Structure formats: C-alpha cells, structure tokens
Amino acid sequence: MKRLIFFLSIGLITIIFLNGCTATDKLQKRNSDEYYVHITIDGIETRYTENSSPRFSYELLGFDHEGNGKTLLFDSERNLRKGAYLRIYYSDLERVKTFEEVIFDEIPARARDRLHNQSKEGNA
C-alpha cells in the first residue's frame, strides 16, 4: 500500500511539473498581439561578458493580422535561419514576449501580403 501511495505521489508531482512548464508558455502568449516577420538578415551578435554565450539581436518590421506594421526589437540565443517566418507575441508593456517559427501559409492573408511585398521591395 505504501508503494502504491509513493508511486501515485510521484506521478502526481510529475503531472503538476509538466503542466507548469506548458502553462508558462501559455502565459507569455496571453494578452499579446501577434505580429509576423520574415528573417532576411543575420542577427547582430552581442556578448554581455567575455565568457557569456552570444545573443543575436534583430530589428525587423512585423505585421499583425490586419496588415498593420510595427518595428520589433528582439533577441535570440541563436542566429535565426534566414528565410524563416516567425509569429511574435508582443505587448506594449513587455515588448516581445516570445516567438515561434511558422510556415508562410499559416500567416493571416493581410500580413502575408505585406511580408510578400516587403520581400519583393528588398530584392528590387
């Protein structure tokens, strides 16, 4: 009986821990506006101390689902892949909260059109 209670307790703790990990991601996305950007440049590498890992900073024009543009400043622990499309979660209070890569077809039509036009202008 003690073994059963022990294993049930371990299982419950594991479930609570895993739920907490996914809840943090959901909290970051809540009360955020979504913007979409196209990575066309390498990030600017910065090291805060001599022994620290590099951070890569970006300043890109992003578009919301209505096609409204906003300049977004954010950084990443790795240099992002050129050609990637990102969904950025942004709030005026906290700025860029988090981001994730998306495929072009997942981007809302107005934002997709603006990103497509931006890419054409950059190649002209």
Q: What is the pLDDT of residues 69-85, one digit of tens each?
A: 999 999 999 999 999 99
**Torsions phi, psi of 106, nearest 5?**
-80, -15
**What is the pLDDT, as a whole number, of residue 8?**
60
**22 confidence band (pLDDT: 50, 70, 90):** very low
Here the tokens at position 77 are: 């622990």
**What is the pLDDT, as a whole number, of residue 93?**
72
**What is the pLDDT, as a whole number, of residue 51?**
87
pTM over 0.85: no
Residue 19 has pLDDT above 60, yes or no: no
**What is the pLDDT, as a whole number, of residue 68?**
96
